[in-house]
Amino acid sequence: MEKEFEGKVAIITGGGQGMGRSVAQKLSLEGANVIVNDKNLEALSKVVNDLTSSGASAVAAPGDVTKKDDVDAIVATALDEFGAVDILVNNAGILFRTRLLDMEEEEWYLVINVNMKGTYLFSRAVIPHMRKAGWGRIVNFSSTAGKAVSTLGGPRYTAAKAGILGLTRAVAKEVAPMGITVNAVCPGLVDTEMVQENVSSQQLTGYIDSFPIPRICDPAEVAELVAFLASDRAAYITGASLDINGGDLMIS
């Protein structure tokens, strides 16, 4: 039986850990050729080695998502290796818990740039190739923070994730006639390294106890949602934001 993404080429940013790693695993399991990006060379190498050892088609593409030259080089790697870019998953993100009055300007721009500028640069770089093919899928990572207020990330993370939702809608409208869909996923609290580094076990228990579904989300569950949006099953969905938060935030 042919796999769902057989022959497709996917770029996953921030794929060295957490949700990005799970997305790379899911898409490659379904037959995609994956270009995995991360700044952490050790984590990136481990992910790609694990994928290739299991028989997947995966290539490491280190680089900084906030730098245009790096972004262009990563897209060029996908084209050189596989001749196309069909799917882009803008997962790379960063957060700090600093309060507004304690925040330096450099920290503000770092969070905004990694989360938003990276999404913009990669989207702009891949859309011409998707337009030429007449098919493409872009899945952006926002958060429940983009619709409410961040549990962990503070004002610049909340602003960045809200901005990604606006960017998603605007680009989706622009590229829909080209056969490209653009959607966003909005995870709540997910069991990733970034969460583990920022939440004590006592705090985590408190959060979980407040959720209608009283547990933390597994990154693999987010990867399933991303895979759906990247597939032909979601061909008539664009400009949407899909929540996956255990009922922590319920809004229409």
CATH of the domain at 71: 3.40.50.720
- Per the model's pLDDT, the better-predicted residue between 92 and 102 turns out to be 92
> Could you read off the pLDDT of 131-145 as tens digits, one per residue?
999 999 999 999 999
Q: What local confidence, expressed as pLDDT, does residue 155 receive?
A: 86
Asked, for residue 2, whether it belongs to a domain, the answer is: no
> Could you read off the pLDDT of 19-53 as tens digits, one per residue?
999 999 999 999 999 999 999 999 999 999 999 99
Asked, for residue 62, whether it belongs to a domain, the answer is: yes
- pLDDT at 199 > cutoff 90: no
192, two tokens: 């990733």
Q: What's the structural domain count of the chain?
A: 1
Residue 114 carries which DSSP code? I
pTM: 0.95
CA-closest candidate to residue 85, choices 112, 125, 45: 125
Q: State yes or no: is 157 an active-site residue.
A: yes
- pLDDT at 198 > cutoff 90: no
Asked, for residue 146, whether it belongs to a domain, the answer is: yes
Q: Tell me what the mean pLDDT of segment 220-234 comes to.
A: 98
180, two tokens: 């490209």
Note down the domain range covering 122: 9-188+218-241
Catalytic position from the list 109, 120, 157, 207? 157
Asked, for residue 210, whether it belongs to a domain, the answer is: no
The whole-angstrom separation of Cα 160 and Cα 151 is 14
Q: What local confidence, expressed as pLDDT, does residue 94 receive?
A: 85
Q: Tell me what the mean pLDDT of segment 81-103 comes to.
A: 88
Asked, for residue 159, whether it belongs to a domain, the answer is: yes
Sequence-ordered strand ranges (E) for 111-210: 136-141, 180-187
pLDDT tier for residue 197 given thresholds of 50, 70 and 90: confident
Asked, for residue 195, whether it belongs to a domain, the answer is: no
Asked, for residue 178, whether it belongs to a domain, the answer is: yes
Asked, for residue 121, whether it belongs to a domain, the answer is: yes
Long-range contacts of 46-50 (CB under 8 A, 24+ apart): 46/16, 47/15, 47/16, 47/17, 47/21
136, two tokens: 């493409």
pLDDT tier for residue 149 given thresholds of 50, 70 and 90: confident
Q: Are 221 and 23 in contact (CB under 8 A)?
A: no
